[in-house]
Amino acid sequence: MHPYNLYTIPVSLQVNFDLGNFEPCSELIVRNLSDLSSIFNDQQALQDLLVVENPVVYEFRYAPFVTPVSDMTFGITRINPGKVGNEYYMTKGHFHEHPDQPEIYTCVRGCGYLLLENHAGEFKAEQWQPGTVTHIPPGWAHRAVNTGDGPLIFLAFYHLSAGHDYGTIEKTGFASLLIEQEDKPVFISNPARKSG
Ligand code: PAN
Ligand code: ZN
């Protein structure tokens, strides 16, 4: 049994696209820099930052609309602007636990990239601006990266039962990193890349 309310009659919520939140909201996950230490390449830069502060890298809010026969879920993520060394702030990234589960992301504010990688090691990067909708097919790990000066805010639509498998992509890392060079985002291959 999951702990969520049952929504057998239609309901609505109100999203604030500027702030990247919605009301009413009961489920909030905040990821600080210290929660994300394994995903950044420059470990020295990470440690230097953590000595001074432990900033919020991103916040993720979600609303599971669970009925006895369905579990559509709405989510909104706000990634703050920032970098660790020259690598931009980004989400942890994950595969879905269930291999038949897709997702749709919609960028509503800011700019960046969605990095995607499947189990065969095929890598793709989708450039984002407000209004970009990306379909994430089943079997593709996904990570959003904020390359802008302001927040990157995106909506997510998925099934709650899709689940999150963080461990698989954490072990290998994504094939490419997005770093800033001469004020521009540049892809480089991940020096810490391990084969799966
Ligand atoms: C999203 C993500 C959200 C936070 O709703 O869960 O953006 O990213 P991480 O889960 O990688 O920390 C989603 O893809 N749900 O399936
Ligand atoms: Zn997902």
Confidence bin at 196 (pLDDT 50/70/90): low
Which residue lies with its CA nearest to atom 11 of ligand 1? Answer: 93
Question: What's the confidence (pLDDT) of residue 82?
Answer: 98
Please tell me the number of the ligand nearest to residue 20's CA: 1
Which of 22, 77, 100 gets mutated to test ligand 1 (max ligand atoms within 8 A of its CB)?
77
User: Rounded CA gap, 34 and 138, in Å?
Assistant: 29
CA atoms within 13 A on the CB side of 8: 3
The confidence score (pLDDT) of residue 183 equals 95
The whole-chain average pLDDT of the chain stands at 96
Q: Taking residues 60-64, report their average pLDDT.
A: 97
Tell me: pLDDT of 1 over 70: no
Q: CB–CB of 148/128 below 8 Å?
A: no
pLDDT digits (tens, 9 = 90+) for 99-110: 999 999 999 999
- Report the pLDDT value the prediction gives residue 2, as an integer from 0 to 100: 66
Whether a cis peptide bond, with omega within 30° of 0, leads into 130 is: no
pTM for this one?
0.96
Q: Report CA(93)–ligand 1 centroid distance (Å).
A: 7
Interval 21-35: pLDDT, tens: 999 998 999 999 999
Assess contact for 85 and 113: CB atoms under 8 A. no
Which atom of ligand 1 sits closest to the CA of residue 156?
A: 5
Residue 194 scores a pLDDT above 70: no
Could you read off the pLDDT of 114-150 as tens digits, one per residue?
Answer: 999 999 999 999 999 999 999 999 999 999 999 999 9
